[in-house]
């Protein structure tokens, strides 16, 4: 028996749920809800480390680097999910934030047995995706023992990339290969070892923080408005119009023509309305302010 695995919090038996198989449906749900309520506090305890991670990621992306999520099993799927949401939410290039899972894309749907234990594949992935010393790699593993993830982070660190770990146990095997280790400990799962539950929820909350706060610092929002989205479908078109109205105070009859003249670029439309600039001038002003709408508006106001 592996003494490391046996001693993990995520492998413990939860004494609160030992008789779950004798509970009514309502009792089971209440037990799960009670355990899930412990997750936010565990994440809150890691805020100091999350701050360091966000600041590192911001510096990385601002200086032309990329962000990579690498995980195995449920952890890998959560990383791929978070990465895939960045382009529609923040208008980013799909290559800016990327997610990879042990076993390849097929593992998103089907378990690929043994893939998380393959160190060679972890190293090969870092080489294949071309990680450089300008990039940041975030490794995700609830147990902190997935050899695929550990080997990938170790290789990324050798290259000079920033390395960040998201794990659900303290003093894990992952920690030594991380510049920053985020470890929300949520306690034993409702079902022993099923880390898709509390551990997975904690990971999702942490990853939400990493990308959202990094993108806010990169100027991807105006106040709390999602101004960098592209109106690529009916829902996003409608949202774009509402965002333009909220940011500028104009009505539909004004917002819609501006959105269309800005080639469905919500941020650009707002800049045009706020400043009176045409699309080309507004785009240039935004570029000069590194894409920050608020900074661009303030800069223009000072000039005029």
pLDDT tens for each residue of 176-213? 999 999 999 999 999 999 999 999 999 999 999 999 99
How far CA 141 is from CA of 48, 73, 146, in Å, comes to: 20, 8, 6
pLDDT at 1: 56
- Considering the chain, what percentage of its residues have pLDDT values greater than 70? 99
Same domain, 175 and 103: yes
Same domain, 25 and 115: yes
Provide the residue range defining the domain that includes 43. Answer: 3-217
pLDDT at 304: 56
Domain boundary (217, 242, 270) is at 217
Same domain, 128 and 272: no
Domain of residue 122, CATH code: 3.40.50.10490
pLDDT at 131: 98
Q: How far apart are CA 193 and CA 16, in angstroms?
A: 15
Under 8 Å between Cβ of 291 and 277: no
Main-chain dihedrals φ then ψ at residue 99, nearest 5 degrees: -125, 135
Same domain, 133 and 160: yes
Q: How far apart are CA 127 and CA 131, in angstroms?
A: 7
In a domain, 228, yes or no: no
Same domain, 203 and 251: no
Same domain, 81 and 33: yes
Question: How many domains are contained in the chain?
Answer: 2
pTM for this one? 0.94
- Please indicate whether residue 260 is annotated as part of the active site: no
pLDDT at 229 over 90: no
The residues with which 166 forms a beta bridge, in sequence order, are 140, 182
pLDDT tens for each residue of 233-284? 899 999 999 999 999 999 999 999 999 999 999 999 999 999 999 999 999 9
Catalytic-labelled residue, pool 85, 119, 127, 171: 85
In a domain, 229, yes or no: no
Same domain, 77 and 177: yes
Same domain, 148 and 177: yes
Same domain, 29 and 117: yes
Catalytic-labelled residue, pool 11, 116, 121, 189: 116
- Please indicate whether residue 85 is annotated as part of the active site: yes
Same domain, 250 and 167: no
Same domain, 34 and 142: yes
Same domain, 195 and 95: yes
In a domain, 43, yes or no: yes
pLDDT tens for each residue of 136-159? 999 999 999 999 999 999 999 999
Domain of residue 286, CATH code: 1.10.8.1080
């Amino acid at each position: 028996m592996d003494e490391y695995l046996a001693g993990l919090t995520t492998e413990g038996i939860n004494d609160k749920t030992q008789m779950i198989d004798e509970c009514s449906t309502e009792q089971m749900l209440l037990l799960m809800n009670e355990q899930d309520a412990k997750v936010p506090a565990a994440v809150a305890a890691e805020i100091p480390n999350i701050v360091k991670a966000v600041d590192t990621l911001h510096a990385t992306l601002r200086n032309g680097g990329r962000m990579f999520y690498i995980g195995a099993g449920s952890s890998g799927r959560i990383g791929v999910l978070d990465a895939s949401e960045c382009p529609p939410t923040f208008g980013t290039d799909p290559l800016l934030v990327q997610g990879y899972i042990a076993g390849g894309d097929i593992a998103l749907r089907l378990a690929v047995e043994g893939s998380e234990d393959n160190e060679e594949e972890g190293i090969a992935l870092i080489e294949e995706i071309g990680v450089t010393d300008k990039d940041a790699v975030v490794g995700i593993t609830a147990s902190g023992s997935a050899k695929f993830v550990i080997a990938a982070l170790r290789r990324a660190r050798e290259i000079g990339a920033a390395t960040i770990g998201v794990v659900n146990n303290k003093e894990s095997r992952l920690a030594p290969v991380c510049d920053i280790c985020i470890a929300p400990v949520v306690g034993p799962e409702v079902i022993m070892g099923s880390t898709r539950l509390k551990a997975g929820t904690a990971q999702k909350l942490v990853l939400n923080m990493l990308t959202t706060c990094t993108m806010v610092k990169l100027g991807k929002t105006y106040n709390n408005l999602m101004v960098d989205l592209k109106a690529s479908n009916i829902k996003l078109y409608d949202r774009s119009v509402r965002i333009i109205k909220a940011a500028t105070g104009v009505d539909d009859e004004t917002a819609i023509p501006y959105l269309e003249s800005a080639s469905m670029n919500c941020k650009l439309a707002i800049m045009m309305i706020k400043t009176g600039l045409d699309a080309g001038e507004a785009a240039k002003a935004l570029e000069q302010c590194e894409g920050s709408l608020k900074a661009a508006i303030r800069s223009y106001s000072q000039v005029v």
